[in-house]
Each structure stands twice: as structure tokens, then as C-alpha cells.
Structure 1
């Protein structure tokens, strides 16, 4: 794609330079009324002290606060009659209770997704690269007895033990760290199929742990990518011509899924997904890509078609809600993280907006009186919003100071973008920066500039936000250890830790 033209940026500037009819003037009276209205709404808040029938946990993988802010503005700038976009709110930002989560791991200051999601779903902080085992387990430990001795029960496993239905939805591989922490126990997050396992270990690979899940009557819903982890290398992929599965043991885990569960379904494309009737289906496995699912922006051009995160969330709720005892559902926007690693803000932000859409779907399909909805991130990224741009400046554009006719320039006389990364593949090198006026910084393929050259951008260590609504949501307050998220969800479902 050609990013040496600027149609999207020009369109955004054109939109922002038009004064929308009916847009309120932000006078002193406007802000006083805004503040009084917010104060009145806060005074009307009544904590829902009931216990929850259902819990839905949304995880924006890598969705730090700067990502939320930039996505909020980007979505707002696409709406009619906006005042600049900054005033917009994503769906989960409307939730009444907000707290901060400290994301460090047992042995990591800046964490990866394995220990962070393990903390969220088990209440126990642990080491880099391990899933739902305590910190006594070293990464790549091969002794199954050690892993079993120190495994810690997940909220999803507890839910199955208590007779609730359970589901895992993600736009990443279902065997990737965040979804895997819900149902698998292993010393290595990368042991996704037997092809990655060392020959001298009896620890089950993550895909097998999903299908062989031994709690209750098994997972009711598992939707995401990672098809190659479930199909044998001898089997042709149903969507990608010339490609096969990745398993070396000859197992077809999709066939095992269908065989072991009554009223089970396995789907790999949008047509199959749409045909699934939640009323007559008890166990649904959807594997829509060999690896990760498409970014939301690229999803319409996928050969086999893929459901959106919102559509998967809706289908999952419809299937799980049949259980009169309730359900636990984890929904991950997994590709926010992967776009940030690539230094690509456009796709990170548009996937964040789709997470907001999925949250709205859940809010509309559930009863706030009995369903606790929690939205958080496992960690942040080195993503920044800076440079003193004027109000309403296109968030993906070049910095222009308030009232200025021209773009702001750096010490070398070059313009620069509002969004950037502390490190990553967008590094141009000293004296090698292009004149960004000749590029389209709003193009989906544009890589924001990075200060330190790395093949992939890294995670960041600052706190991330927790947003909550529903029963016991008021317990999210202040600055908490990430493991506290589990405690609130378990308490809301009246589970005791580890039981």
C-alpha cells in the first residue's frame, strides 16, 4: 500500500475545520454545568451489593491508558457534531467504578501476558512465561509433577465446578497466553501444540489442555484463532490453500471436540459461525485462522470470512445464558497488543474501538442487576500521546499547535506526529527521518516513529485501568495489585479462592 499520499489525514483535517451545527460553545457556564451534572450523577450512585449470577471479563491485551485515550479520540473524531473528539467516551468508560491495577510479575518489572493474565484469573502473581502456576515453577520446567504440585485453580475452572457455563473468546490464537491462562497450567506459554513441546516432558500442550479440560462438563464456548495448533500436519487446512495443520502427533483435536461433547459444533469460517444455533448447541469451538485472527480493519477482506469480536461476544452470551445457574465469560481483544508490537497505532486503536463495541453488545444483552462486567488490560505498551497539538487535531496526524497555520517542527526542522513509541520498528535513525508531510500518517500501514530501534516494540510497566459495572463492581477502587481482580470476581460469584 502507498502511504506517500495523505487522503485520510486531509479528510480528518477537513472534518475538524468544519463547525458542526449544534455543537455547544465551551463557555465557563458550559463547564460549570458539565461539572455539576457529573457531581449529581455521582451522588445518585448506589452500590449494587448483590452477588452476581454471571461475570464477563473483557481484556484489552496491551490496552494501556494512552491506548484508551487515543482510541477514544479517534472514535470521537469519526462522529458527527464532535467538538474535537477528546470529549468522546468508549463504552466501558461510562462504567461507574474505576481502579488502577499494578501489573508487575513475580520476577518481572515490565511483564508479559502470561503472569499478568494468570494473576487476573487465579489471584496469584507468578513468573514470566508461565501459565496458572505459582512462582515456585521456573519457566520451561519439564517435570509434570512440579507443574501439577504448584498449579493454581482458575476462576473458569471454579465456575465449571460450581455448575456454571464457561467461555473463552479471543481475536488471538486460543492457545495464546491470555486465553490459555483461563484453562491451562504449564511452565511455558509457547508450548501451544505438541510441535513446540520438548521430547522429554509429559506436560500436555495447551491445545490438548483446552480440549481435555476436565472440570465440570468442559468449556461451552471457545472462539478465536490458532487452528494449526489443533489439526495434524498431515491434514490440509480448510481455508488456506497449500497449508496444513501443525501437530506432529497426528491428533485432530477438532474431531475429538465433536466426539466428546453432545450437541457440539466446530466452525472455521463466518458462514459456519452464522449457522450455529445457540439454542441447539451445547459446546462450540470456532477456529477462524491458522494463527491469530485478522485485525478488525482487515477482517472484511479475509478469504473465509471471520466474525467480529462483537459478534463472537453475542453468540457466546446467547449460548452460555441458557444455564440457569449462570456463566463466566472471558473476552480478549488480543490484537491490540500485536499491533502495538508492530508499531502500528492505527490497528491497535481500531481494535480497541471494536473492544468497546463488544462491551456495548454485552451491556445490551445482560441485566446490570445480576451480571458483573469488568474491563481491564493485562499490561501497557510504550505508546505515547505528546507534542502540544491543538484541540481536535487529528489523533493520527502531525502536531499543529493551537492557532498555528503550519505544523510544529522539531530541532531539525521536521514535523512530527502526536502518537509515537519509546521503542520499536518505527525507528528512522538520526538524520534519516523522512519529511512526514509527504506521508499519510493516518494510513493503516503507517508505523509511528520510535526512539529506540527494536524489531518489536515492548510492553510498558505502568499501571492499567479497571472499569466495572454490576454486582460488587463498587469493590474496584484505588490502586490494587492485579491479583485483586480475581478476588472481586470470585467474591461476586460467592467462590472461595482455590475452591
Structure 2
């Protein structure tokens, strides 16, 4: 049945409807190498060789490649890249929601607001759509922050992180900012950035805020003043038991810091799939549709630690969330775009037999007669110190350990990002716009065109409909 994909393409009709609903899935650090390795990781779990399977979004009809560099850096971080694919403007490394006129750490330029940029979250709200944000990181981390905040430094997540208190921190912008305060569903980690130092949360962790503000209480009061029905939740049980008919605004902060890796996660933490499906269910009640931004953020963190097993598992969890979303929406009126912000330095090499353990050793040794792993990194904490001028013998290591740090060539405390293009997958109205190779900041403009939102060229204000 090798010809079936050809038949599907031959008979496929381009969907040129207006996109009522929009979902942007972002696998942080999800390089093309990560995708290829995850196929084997996931496929072998279910008795396949692995290489031949496709992740849920790899069956989407249209794919492309996005160039990820930032204005002043050939390799992107999650802040400048987030600004690109959420607002449509390329930025300087380390900055969020600001044009490249603002240099990293420039509080004065952040405060004057002349160079602030908004994007999909703002455009959707102005079109009276419901909006949501889901992440496995802190909700104030660089990637989610790019959806609603303007910060000259991605690290200014709470007031304690700023030397110059004239600038608003990112948590404050989520609660008090024009865009942040109007997001209907916010689910992720980072609870301590919203609580004062004197306050301990339900897990016993103290807050980080020195200004004394309890932003969770403030969020509830602000939503009530807008005639919303708000609810704050902090564990899986509370999230899953939300009465969708009673509440229409939810702030879920399930961890003091980032949420745990899936392989480490206790039962009282919701999965990315559970957060995504709850968000879609609640946002779907809006007659004007919705925009939902979903980040699988722990892929990136595992790569930074050269913990390849966790990186692949987080990618598999991300694919599950996409699959769950597909079952809940109408593909005729819902545009789903899946992409990444940047790559990593993990490589996939050797000439192993089909079905070999992707997380194991290559079938052959190096010229030094010592083994090497199929997956390795160009740099990072997995550097193995030579023994008597010989490369470390990996047969002495426990590659099955969940926290095993895979070998890296150059010793660094944290592995770096990579600079190559990332894949983009699209399904739904105007998904054919996402084929080819383009700048990363093209993505939100194409989404906005399909949905008739934003101040730029859209389906509803152009003649390019045939």
C-alpha cells in the first residue's frame, strides 16, 4: 500500500475556509533529529522497529521549514524565537515581546513601550475569541511569556529578578497586563513567582516576590471585576474536576517551579495531554472560536542536560497532546500548527540495524576500539573525562538510567541550542500556506491570515482567495 500517501495527496482539496479555532503547538527544542529519534523510541515501545512510524503531527498534509536565527544571533534562544513565531517580528536574543530596537537588559526601552510588539494572543482577543496558554514550564518562562509580555530580559520573571524596579516583571504582566490579564485559561508551573516570600504554597514552597503582592489573589479579583467566573487550581484532581459550566477562567499553577519531567512526575501533576484537553474543552464554548498556545517545554530542558531519554519521552508526550487535540476539534474550521522554536546539538549516527535501541550503543566501535552511543551531543554536561588519555569506556555506564547524561564532545554546564531550521506541520484551513522554507516570523502572519485576525493582510481583507 505504498501508493496510499500519493492517492491522498492527489485527491486532497485545499481548505480555504476561515479558521474559527487556532491551536499552535510548540515543542521547545524539538529538532528534526529529536523527531527522528522519538519515532524509534515510541515505535519500539509498541513492538515495531520504530523508524517507520510517524508521530501524530507528522501525518499532517503540509510541512515546511522555518529559519530560527534572531536579529543579533545566528542561534536563537526561546525568547527571541518566541517573539518571532508569536508576534511576527524578529528580536534580539534574550528579549521577549520587543522589537530589535531594544537591547537585552534595557529596562528604559522596555518601560517606554515604543518598541513593544503583540501578536496572536492579542489579535485573537481583539477578535473576541477565547484564549489559552498551556505549558510544562513556568508560565512566566521565555516561551509562554512571549505570548503576552514585554521584557528586555527573559529572566525578569518576578520582581526579585530585577535590579531596576521601574520595569514590570513577567508575572505581574500576566496578571495586570492588557493581554495577559485577558487570557482565559493559563495552565503550567511557576507558582512561586506569583506569591510573596512570606507565603508558603500547598506544597510547602515559599514565594519569591519581595513586593508583598499575592498575584494569584489579585488575578481572581481582577477576573471577578470583569464579570468572569474564575478558579485557581494547583493539582491534577482539581483541574480534571472543574465544572466547565460554572467557570470560564482558570489559572492552574501545578508546581512552584517548572513542572516535573513525565518520567519523574507524581500522580498529582496533570500531563500535557490532560491540560491541553481541558483547555480545549473550556475554550470551545466561545461562539467566536479560540486561540490556544501549547508548549512542550521540557524537551528543551532535557536536551540542555543531555538527558536524551527524557528528551525523547517528552517529545512522545507532546505528540500525545497533539493527537488528543485532533480528536476534539473540527478539522474543517480549526487550524493546527506544530513547530519548534530552535534545535539542539543532539546527533543521530552510526549504522545500526533497524529496530536497534535508539538510546543504546552503536553496533561498531571507534578506531580506539571503544563503543559510542547512537545519540550524542556536540557540547554539554555529558562530556566524559578521558582515562589515561583514552576515551571513556561507555560499557561502564548505565545507559538505562533515566538521568543518564549522553556523551558530549565539549564540556559545558548546559548544552547549547542548534542553529539549523526547524520543521513546521500544519492541518486545517489554509494549512497549505506553511509549505516551503521561510523566516520563523512568517508563521503568525500566516495563522492570522487564515483566521481573519490582526492588523495585517488577512483572508477577509484581501482578494487572494482563489
TM-score range, shorter chain: over 0.9
Structure-2 separation of matches of 1:217 and 1:100 = 33
What corresponds to 2:462 in structure 1?
none
* 1:204 aligned to which of 160, 168, 175: 168
- Whether the aligned pair in 1 keeps the contact of 2:106 and 2:152 (CA below 8 Å) is yes
Residue 440 (structure 1) aligned with residue 398 (structure 2)? yes
* 1:399 aligned to which of 350, 362, 366: 362
Instruction: Map 1:124-143 to 2 at 5 A.
Output: 124-143=89-108
Residue 452 (structure 1) aligned with residue 410 (structure 2)? yes
Change (3 A) 1:216 1:177: closer
- Whether the aligned pair in 2 keeps the contact of 1:426 and 1:447 (CA below 8 Å) is yes
What corresponds to 2:247 in structure 1?
281
- Whether the aligned pair in 1 keeps the contact of 2:173 and 2:181 (CA below 8 Å) is no
Alpha-carbon offset, residue 58 of structure 1: 0.3
- Whether the aligned pair in 1 keeps the contact of 2:135 and 2:188 (CA below 8 Å) is yes
Residue 233 (structure 1) aligned with residue 197 (structure 2)? yes
* 2:271 aligned to which of 294, 303, 308: 308
Deviations 1:171-229 (A, max 9, x none): 00000000000000111110000011123x42211001001132497110000000110
Residue 115 (structure 1) aligned with residue 80 (structure 2)? yes
CA RMSD of the aligned region, Å? Answer: 1.5
Instruction: Map 1:261-276 to 2 at 5 A.
Output: 261=223, 262-276=228-242
- Whether the aligned pair in 2 keeps the contact of 1:158 and 1:498 (CA below 8 Å) is no
Instruction: Map 1:366-445 to 2 at 5 A.
Output: 366-400=329-363, 408-430=364-386, 431=389, 433-445=391-403
What corresponds to 2:464 in structure 1?
none
- Whether the aligned pair in 1 keeps the contact of 2:102 and 2:109 (CA below 8 Å) is no
Secondary structure at the aligned position of 1:448 is classed as: coil
Alpha-carbon offset, residue 279 of structure 1: 2.2
What corresponds to 1:487 in structure 2?
445
What corresponds to 1:79 in structure 2?
46
Alpha-carbon offset, residue 445 of structure 1: 1.3
Secondary structure at the aligned position of 1:186 is classed as: coil
Q: Which runs of 5+ in 1 are unaligned?
A: 1-32, 401-407
Structure-1 separation of matches of 2:181 and 2:221 = 14
Alpha-carbon offset, residue 269 of structure 1: 1.3
Instruction: Map 1:15-414 to 2 at 5 A.
Output: 33-34=1-2, 36-80=3-47, 82=48, 84-143=49-108, 147-199=112-164, 201-215=165-179, 218-239=182-203, 241=204, 243-261=205-223, 262-299=228-265, 301=266, 305-400=268-363, 408-414=364-370
Q: Which runs of 5+ in 2 are unaligned?
A: 458-466
Deviations 1:279-337 (A, max 9, x none): 221110011111100111111x36xx110000000000011101000110000000000
Structure-2 separation of matches of 1:413 and 1:51 = 60
- Whether the aligned pair in 2 keeps the contact of 1:137 and 1:147 (CA below 8 Å) is no
Asked which structure has the greater CA Rg, the reply is 1
Secondary structure at the aligned position of 1:178 is classed as: helix
- Whether the aligned pair in 1 keeps the contact of 2:80 and 2:92 (CA below 8 Å) is yes
Secondary structure at the aligned position of 1:442 is classed as: coil
Deviations 1:14-49 (A, max 9, x none): xxxxxxxxxxxxxxxxxxx41x22211211221101
Residue range with higher mean Cα deviation, 272-281 or 370-379: 272-281
- Whether the aligned pair in 2 keeps the contact of 1:213 and 1:219 (CA below 8 Å) is no
Deviations 1:138-184 (A, max 9, x none): 11112156651011122101111111110010000000000000000
Alpha-carbon offset, residue 453 of structure 1: 0.6
- Whether the aligned pair in 1 keeps the contact of 2:190 and 2:258 (CA below 8 Å) is yes
Structure-1 separation of matches of 2:395 and 2:180 = 59
Secondary structure at the aligned position of 1:149 is classed as: coil
Secondary structure at the aligned position of 1:297 is classed as: helix
What corresponds to 1:474 in structure 2?
432
Structure-1 separation of matches of 2:133 and 2:177 = 13
Structure-1 separation of matches of 2:151 and 2:455 = 20
- Whether the aligned pair in 1 keeps the contact of 2:123 and 2:454 (CA below 8 Å) is no
**Matched residues, number:** 451
Alpha-carbon offset, residue 429 of structure 1: 2.7
- Whether the aligned pair in 2 keeps the contact of 1:122 and 1:132 (CA below 8 Å) is yes
Q: Give the TM-score, by structure 1 length.
A: 0.88
